[in-house]
Amino acid sequence: MTELQNKNILLGVTGGIAAYKAVELLRLFKKAGAGVNVLMTDSAQKFVGKTTFEVLSENPVLSDLFFDTESSVKHIELATRADAVIIAPATANTIAKLAHGIADDALSTTLLAVTCPVLICPSMNTDMYQNIRVQRNLDILEMDGWHILDPDSGVLACKTVGAGRLPDPWFIFDRVGAMLVKKDLKDKKILISAGPTVEPLDPVRFISNHSSGKMGYAIARAAEKRGGLVTLVSGPVNIDPPVGVECIDVQTCEEMAMQMLANLDQADIIIKVAAVADYKPIDPKTRKIKKKENENNLSILLTNNPDILEQIGKKKTSDQFLVGFAAETDDLEKNALLKMAKKNLDMIAANIVGSSVSGFKTDTNKVKLFFKDGSSFDIPLMEKDKVADILIDHVIEKME
Ligand code: PMT
């Protein structure tokens, strides 16, 4: 389930070369379980035909107030029912009309009656986009409380290189989801660690673990969508940096410790999901360790890494909420409670690792939350994105 399930989305398409991307955006909304109605300007129909949008949305497209509709107030009905409106691509002409309340076609007239959140996705030639009048109109819409998604930069259809490209449909889709989420972490600063640490043995080998970063990144994404100002300190992973999150890449436990402690004072909530290597080679070599022909064994002496969470637990103030994770193969509750007490945590999220459905690498997780006040909460097996949201619900509840 996503934020868009069962929501009514109004997708406005205006006449830009990127109108074809609105087809993919529509498909993403439908796949997420949203109902979609499409509004098109006359010029949009010069780029993509109405039929494509009608077939994929399973609804008639509204493009003419007088000829398209079975009802003379269809546009009011659509505006009233909408949970979110997205104009993608939005041309300079439509932006100007919307900024000044001009209602001379189906799209601009419908938008005057809309009261739900609106996302405008400008897309045009760079000089047009940077034109003072266009920027002024975008400022007006933003001041009125509408959301503006900056265009991407790159080679445009007119062969100019610069800002003006409509962002990828999945990115717009993600931002629409964020727009609909309750901002219950607004202005809260959240410091999260994710992924593994890698401890070098020599320039080509290292000691690490199976963390993929999925759980920590899911929490970072969820916190950002809920209005949090998120800093993510991450070991090496293969996941795109979450949108709107400040990402700091590290390799070793020492580097992670340095970055977590440097960002600690400003944080309201600290969530330590990273799987930190407890030990590191005592004497990492600067040259590759060579294979010796007549020796079967190689001993590597390891030394303790600092316990970052324990250090944070000692420094944290009473206003800061500290969450740790416990990765266990057995005695989940006993080990988690010991870690919570030893590291001075407000909450610990305990998960069984080494299973095919929870813990490392999996898309799902099964977590039990334990709190300082002695209470606990079971999160059954579900997608890590959903686990992240429930975990944040509990952090907010305990902080109140
Ligand atoms: O990344 P994924 O593939 O999605 O997998 C998710 C996960 C299994 C890594 C995650 O859900 C999880 O359990 N993270 C904690 C892993 C871990 O190191 O657990 P631990 O029980 O060894 O450590 C307890 C806590 O102390 C953790 O919050 C850890 O970040 C912290 N710690 C541990 C050692 C150390 N030297 N410094 C630390 O800060």
214 Cβ below 6 A of ligand 1: yes
Q: How far is the CA of 315 from the centre of ligand 1 (A)?
A: 19
d(CA 366, CA 335): 16
pLDDT (tens, 9 = 90+) of the chain, 400 residues, equals 578 999 999 999 999 999 999 999 999 999 999 999 999 999 999 999 999 999 999 999 999 988 766 676 888 999 999 999 999 999 999 999 999 999 999 999 999 999 999 999 999 999 999 999 999 999 999 999 999 999 999 888 888 889 999 999 999 999 999 999 999 999 999 999 999 999 999 999 999 999 999 999 999 999 999 999 999 999 999 999 999 999 999 999 999 999 999 999 999 999 999 999 999 999 999 999 988 877 888 899 999 999 999 999 999 999 999 999 999 989 999 999 999 999 999 999 999 898 899 999 999 999 999 999 999 999 999 999 999 999 999 999 999 8
Domain's final residue, options 130, 149, 179? 179
Q: Which residue has the tokens 């400008």?
A: 122
Q: For residue 294, tell me if it sits in a domain.
A: no
Structural domain boundaries enclosing 103: 2-179
36 is a domain residue: yes
DSSP string of 14-75, one letter each residue = -SSTTHHHHHHHHHHHHHTT-EEEEEE-TTHHHHS-HHHHHHHHTSPPB--TTTS-SSTTHH
pTM above 0.85, yes or no: yes
For ligand 1, what atom is nearest to the CA of residue 306?
Answer: 36
Reading the block at residue 188, the tokens are 């809260």
Measured in Å, residue 203 CA sits from the centre of ligand 1 at 25
Q: Output the pLDDT for position 294.
A: 78
Q: Is the CB of 188 under 6 A from ligand 1?
A: no
Q: What is the predicted pLDDT for the residue at 386?
A: 95
Quote the ligand 1 centre to 275 CA distance (angstroms): 4
* 3-class SS string, 325-393: EEEECCCHHHHHHHHHHHCCCCEEEEEECCCCCCCCCCCEEEEEEEECCCCEEEEEEEEHHHHHHHHHH
In a 10 Å sphere around its CB, with 0-12 CB exposed, 13-18 middle and 19+ buried, how is residue 76 labelled? middle
Residue 296 lies in a domain: no
Establish if 292 belongs to a structural domain: no
359 lines ligand 1 (CB under 6 A): yes
- Indicate whether 104 belongs to any domain: yes
Closest residue by CA, ligand 1 atom 37 = 307
Same domain, yes or no: 265 and 131: no
313 lines ligand 1 (CB under 6 A): no
Q: Do residues 205 and 153 share a domain? A: no
**Considering only CA atoms, which residue is closest to atom 26 of ligand 1?**
309
pLDDT recorded at residue 178? 93
Residues 158 and 221 in one domain: no
Looking at the structure of the chain, the number of domains it has is: 2
Query: Which residues are catalytically annotated?
Result: 158
Check whether residue 173 and residue 202 sit in a common domain.
Answer: no
Q: Which atom of ligand 1 sits closest to the CA of residue 384?
A: 4
**Judgement on whether residues 195 and 175 belong to the same structural domain of the protein:** no
Note whether residue 184 is domain-resident.
Answer: no
Check if 260 has its Cβ closer than 6 Å to any atom of ligand 1.
Answer: no
Q: Cα(84)–Cα(28) distance, rounded to whole angstroms?
A: 15
Domain check: are 74 and 200 in the same one?
no
Are 204 and 104 in the same domain? no
Domain ends where: 134, 156, 179?
Answer: 179
DSSP per position, 286-317: SSPPPPPTT-------EEEPP-HHHHHHHH--
213 CB near ligand 1 (under 6 Å): yes
> Ligand 1 in contact with 367 (CB < 6 A)?
no
Q: Has residue 225 been placed in a domain? A: yes
Could you tell me if 46 and 163 lie in one domain? yes
Q: Whose CA is nearest to atom 24 of ligand 1?
A: 326
Pick from 121, 152, 179: which residue ends a domain? Answer: 179
The answer to whether residues 70 and 125 belong to one domain is yes
**Where does residue 295 rank: exposed (0-12), middle (13-18), buried (19+ CB within 10 A)?**
exposed
Ligand 1 contact via 272 beta carbon (within 6 Å)? yes
Determine the pLDDT at residue 228: 97
100 and 225 together in one domain: no
pLDDT at 1: 58
On whether residue 295 sits in a domain, the answer given is no
Closest atom, ligand 1, to C-alpha of 215:
4
**CATH code (residue 268):** 3.40.50.10300
CATH code of the domain containing 82: 3.40.50.1950
Backbone angles phi, psi at 13, to 5 degrees: -120, 125
Q: Is the same domain home to 126 and 243?
A: no
Q: Mutation test of ligand 1: which of 309, 353, 357 has the most ligand atoms closer than 8 Å to its C-beta? A: 309
Q: Are residues 95 and 27 in the same domain?
A: yes
